[in-house]
Amino acid sequence: MPLTRRKFAQSALAAGAIAALPSVFSACTESSKAAGTVRSAAVARPKLSPVQDSFPISFPKNFSWGAATAAYQIEGAWNQDGKGESIWDRFVRVPGKIKNGDTGDDACDSYHRWREDIALLRAMNINSYRFSISWPRIQPNASGSPNAAGVDYYSRLVDALLELHIRPIATLYHWDLPQHLEDAGGWPNRDTAGRFADYTEICARAFGDRVSDWVLFNEPLAFTYRGYLEGAHAPGRTSLPDFLHATHVVNLAQGAGFQALKQTLSSARVGTAFSMSPCEPATNSEEDKLAAERAHALINLWFLEPAMKGRYPQGFAFLPATLMGIRAGDFEKMRAPLDFIGINLYYRTIASAIGIVERVSSPQDWLFPVKMSGGDEGPKTDAGWEVWPQAMYDMIMSVTREYHRPQIEITESGCAYNDGPGPDGAIRDARRIEYHRQYLGAVGRAISEGADVRGYHAWSLMDNFEWSEGFSQRFGMAYVDFKTQKRTMKESGRWYGKVAAENGIGGD
Ligand code: GCO
């Protein structure tokens, strides 16, 4: 469901506030990954695909070969063993919100079948597993002492990973807010930041003796935008002020969570997984170049600058502090000097200025004249997203330059291809192999030019519940038959296992 400009204008007007941001933010949402905003035919960019030349490549010693998942997308057992209700448990029951009426009630049933999932990791020679902890499984009512059964579940998982020498990377928030907190105002409510810090401390105490690597948030812009402005994700609100407040409270929570982790566990290695996308001007015009700079600030820096530098990206001074809910002292509270920057990257973004006619007729376009879309030169995945490995290289190098060669983890990259079993039962997903081969080539090239990338986590270990797309998009390197819950390794999983074992990719 791409966000149309008309829809945006309506929600902004209903909010009765300046409507500068939403059209800009739309480029970072899943729907807009496939959005077809028209752009000028006079594209002056060179066509770049240099990574083909990078093979064979070997990766640095100790490079982490990983896979990523998220609790709501795989666990199921939505109301078992004392787990509380999350905003996703509630949202999937709203008619029409999820494709085919799917829910994550059972998902991949990983709550019961986690041993099978670990066997998959092992078969793929994976040495780093990024999973998420379900907040309402730990704190069913979002306050007070932890639910022992929930803690036990993740404890067993972590122990089993460590036994196989697989590094656990625990994501604290991958979108499943306890419904209790949404009822109390959700992310736009400043109190939620403190509650997040309490929950973080509980996790640090419960697992910190065995987990060193932590991701505070998964894709803060995606869940605030889609959940509070667009309404396509939980909790399904459509309010510009709520969205703006939510982004600020998440920035405060990032600072508070960082402090809570470091105070409880001084050795913790802490990051956030940002949804990132390099922004290219649609043409060489000065207006489009400026539009691309603004798009970059919004998509890539809105949650990163507050963490690393205690400020919002430059160029947004026009946003009144009251509209964001900013109070004195907040900039200091937002600071969270992350140990690593997590990059979730799938595609690039093309930015162009908005023409004078549109500007005159629409106040938000006058204030923030940027239009964005995905690229359309490379092949498309089944989700309609352009495959463009250069985007991975460009983003890593941009972060490396802007933040003085920080440690980087590729916390997610992957593609939806819906190939299923052939007559012999094998799943031949050659396009997924080619995707990862090329994106890894881009990572290898960035490393050879000085970037400090520590690991790559394929999204995803197995097919799972893809939010509003339900089970219609398969991102896994293992196939899941959702009727029987049987897992079958795809050819891409076997290929990835070989790459991991060899710590490199051959020239063929
Ligand atoms: C996100 C999340 C994942 C998605 C993946 C494919 O980026 O939305 O981190 O949960 O499933 O990105 O869309």
Query: Residues 394-431: pLDDT tens digits?
Result: 999 999 999 999 999 999 999 999 999 999 999 999 99
Q: What confidence score (pLDDT) does residue 66 get? A: 98
Given a cut of 60, whether residue 26 has pLDDT beyond it is no
Which residue out of 201, 219, 230, 386 is catalytically annotated?
Answer: 219
What DSSP assignment string belongs to 151-214?
Answer: HHHHHHHHHHHHHTTPEEEEEEESS--BHHHHHTT-TTSTHHHHHHHHHHHHHHHHHTTT--EE
Residue nearest atom 10 of ligand 1, based on CA coordinates: 70
Q: Would you call 412 a catalytic residue per the annotation?
A: yes
Lowest mean pLDDT among 29-38, 75-84, 201-210, 348-357: 29-38
Whole-model pTM: value is 0.91
Band the pLDDT of 354: cuts 50, 70, 90: confident
Answer with the residue of higher pLDDT: 314 or 500: 500
- CB of 126 closer than 8 Å to CB of 477: no
Distance 227 CA to ligand 1 centre (A): 14
CA distance 5 to 10: 9
The encoded tokens of residue 34 equal 């496939």
Residues with Cβ < 8 Å from 389, sequence gap 6 or more?
A: 49, 51, 438, 439, 441, 442
The pLDDT value given to residue 366:
52
Specify the pLDDT at position 437.
97
| Spatial contact of 83 and 228, defined as CB atoms under 8 Å apart | no
Q: Which residues, in sequence order, are bridge partners of residue 489?
A: 478
CA separation for the pair 117, 113 (Å, rounded) = 7
Which among 75, 85, 386, 412 is annotated as catalytic?
412
Give CATH for domain 5-502: 3.20.20.80
Residue 265 in this model has a pLDDT that exceeds 90 = yes
Query: How much is the pLDDT for 41?
Result: 33
Q: Is the pLDDT of residue 42 over 50?
A: no
Band of pLDDT at residue 274, cut at 50, 70 and 90 = very high
Mutate to test the pocket of ligand 1, among 381, 411, 459 (most ligand atoms within 8 A of CB): 459
Q: Is the CB of 272 under 6 A from ligand 1?
A: no
- Does any ligand 1 atom lie closer than 6 A to the CB of residue 29? no
**Ligand 1 atom at minimal distance to the Cα of residue 273:** 9
Are the C-beta atoms of 113 and 53 separated by less than 8 Å?
no
Residue nearest to atom 11 of ligand 1 (CA): 466
Residue 63 one-letter amino acid = F
C-alpha dihedral (230, 234, 239, 244), degrees to nearest 10: -90
- pLDDT number for residue 98: 98
CB-ligand 1 contact for 412 (6 Å cutoff): yes
Residue 176: CB within 6 Å of ligand 1? no
Residue 83 C-alpha to ligand 1 middle, in angstroms? Answer: 23
**Ligand 1, atom nearest to 475 Cα:** 6
pLDDT > 80? residue 121: yes
Neighbours of 89 (CB within 10 A): 21
Tell me the C-alpha distance between 10 and 7, whole Å. Answer: 5
For residue 25, the model assigns a pLDDT of 41
Domain boundaries, the chain: 5-502
Does pLDDT of 282 surpass 50?
yes
pLDDT at 8: 31
Residue 43 has pLDDT above 70, yes or no: no
105 C-alpha to center of ligand 1: Å? Answer: 18
Q: Which residue has a Cα nearest atom 5 of ligand 1?
A: 459
What percentage of the chain reaches a pLDDT higher than 90?
82
- Whether the per-residue pLDDT at 45 is higher than 50: the answer is no
Q: Give the pLDDT confidence score for residue 443 in this predicted structure.
A: 98
Q: Is 219 an annotated catalytic residue?
A: yes
Alpha helices, H only, 277-369: 286-301, 304-309, 321-324, 330-334, 356-361, 363-367
Question: If you average pLDDT over every residue of the chain, what do you get?
Answer: 89
Q: How confident is the model at residue 360, as a pLDDT?
A: 66
Q: Is the CB of 249 under 6 A from ligand 1?
A: no
